[in-house]
Structure 1
Amino acid sequence: MARIIEVLPQDSEIEELTSPKNAQAANAMKHRREVKRRLDDYLERAELRKALGLENDEDF
Structure 2
Amino acid sequence: MAARTGSTKTYAVARALRNELQRLDDAMSLRERLRPVQVRVASRPATGLDADKAFYDELSGEG
Fold equivalence (TM over 0.5)? no
Q: Which category describes the TM-score, using the shorter chain as reference length?
A: 0.3 to 0.5
- The structure having more radius of gyration, on CA atoms, is 2
TM-score, normalised to structure 1, is: 0.43
TM-score, normalised to structure 2, is: 0.41
